[in-house]
């Protein structure tokens, strides 16, 4: 081999070596790149999963917030606040009406509280504009604000509030001459005394009795429809001239055609006694048909104040 060929072969060998080294480096980097790409892919997958999880958490939180907002709309405040408000109602009632102080007999106290509402609340319909807010706000505006006037439904609600504040069980009673509309209707109250439910109506400041016994609305309805005797009494309390349920714009025999008595609970030393809703006559579903065919449910749902009061949270 001539001396001129040796340098050429050396150069070729070096070139081959360089190519081989470069190929090896490229292979290593390709492998590293492949590993990096797989890592990136896994990270992207994890990131996607994290986004999904985060989205689910946000969705769950939104559901919780929505549920809480809904609950707060159904019940403006919780039972501790309601209990506090009822205690404030009792303090104000005792301050406004000294007759209530020291009375321990439940029947006498129920009559005095009825008379207190009858004399303290103006009987006119100013709507619910002035009666928004807490139970205490409702009561104190009703008995002290000269701009506020109530009719049977509002008077019954005010009476039930103050009855509960003094620990006397009560339940609402609604009556209608027809299932179509509220034109001929009335709202009243029953109180639980001496183991029985008896009418105590704050709109007319009266009770009903027969044979020396006070009557509940269901018993009175049966007597009215049968033509059996009964009489009303104000229990010695003064009433306005001609202020009598018998002089109502609709005859009692028509007014009690449909009767809804609200559920209630009574606590004794031994147990709790629950009274279910009563809808009379049998077969009536408790709905009244309003204008445009809208159905009005007469029975309050469990989150309404009437239901909370009927649970007897101070008793």
pLDDT at res. 17: 52
pLDDT at res. 180: 85
> Among 93-102, 136-145, 175-184, 209-218, which is the least confidently predicted range?
175-184
Summary mean pLDDT of the chain: 80
Mean pLDDT to the nearest integer, 107-133: 87
| Domain extent listing, the chain | 77-310
Mean pLDDT to the nearest integer, 251-261: 93
Flag whether pLDDT at 23 surpasses 80: no
pLDDT at res. 91: 97
Flag whether pLDDT at 75 surpasses 90: no
pLDDT at res. 303: 64
Report the C-alpha gap between 121 and 72 in whole angstroms. 29
> Among 49-53, 111-115, 140-144, 200-204, which is the least confidently predicted range?
49-53
Flag whether pLDDT at 76 surpasses 70: no
Flag whether pLDDT at 21 surpasses 50: no
Flag whether pLDDT at 127 surpasses 90: no
pLDDT at res. 234: 96
pLDDT (tens digit per residue) in 260-314: 999 999 987 778 899 999 999 999 999 999 888 889 888 877 667 777 777 776 6
Read off the pLDDT band of 106 (50, 70, 90). Answer: very high
**CATH of 77-310 given 1.10.357, 1.10.3470, 3.40.50, 3.10.620:** 3.10.620
Mean pLDDT to the nearest integer, 161-175: 95
């Amino acid at each position: 081999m001539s001396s001129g060929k040796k340098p050429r072969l050396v150069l070729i060998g070096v070139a081959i070596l360089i190519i081989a080294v470069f190929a090896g480096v490229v292979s290593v980097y390709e492998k590293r790149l492949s590993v990096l790409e797989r890592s990136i892919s896994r990270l992207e997958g994890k990131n996607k999963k994290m986004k999904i999880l985060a989205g689910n958490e946000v969705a769950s939180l939104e559901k919780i917030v929505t549920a809480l907002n809904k609950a707060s709309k159904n019940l403006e405040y919780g039972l501790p606040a309601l209990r506090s408000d009822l205690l404030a109602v009792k303090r104000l009632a005792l301050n406004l009406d000294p007759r209530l102080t020291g009375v321990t007999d439940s029947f006498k106290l129920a009559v005095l509280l009825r008379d207190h509402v009858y004399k303290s609340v103006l009987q006119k319909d100013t709507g619910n504009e002035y009666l928004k807010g807490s139970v205490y706000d409702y009561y104190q505006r009703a008995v002290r604000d000269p701009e506020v006037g109530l009719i049977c439904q509002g008077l019954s609600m005010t009476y039930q509030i103050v009855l509960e504040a003094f620990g006397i069980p009560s339940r609402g009673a609604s009556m209608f001459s027809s299932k179509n509309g509220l034109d001929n209707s009335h709202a009243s109250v029953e109180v639980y005394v001496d183991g029985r439910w008896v009418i105590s109506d704050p709109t007319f400041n009266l009770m009903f009795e027969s044979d020396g016994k006070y009557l509940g609305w269901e018993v009175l309805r049966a007597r009215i429809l049968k033509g059996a005797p009964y009489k009303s009494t104000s229990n010695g309390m003064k009433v306005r001239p001609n202020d009598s349920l018998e002089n109502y714009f609709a005859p009692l025999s028509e007014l009690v055609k449909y009767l809804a008595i609200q559920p209630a609970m009574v606590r004794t030393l031994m147990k709790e006694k629950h009274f279910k809703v009563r809808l009379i006559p049998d077969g009536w579903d408790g709905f009244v048909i309003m204008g445009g065919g809208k159905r009005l449910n007469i029975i309050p749902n469990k989150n309404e104040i009437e239901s909370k009061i009927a649970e007897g949270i101070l008793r």
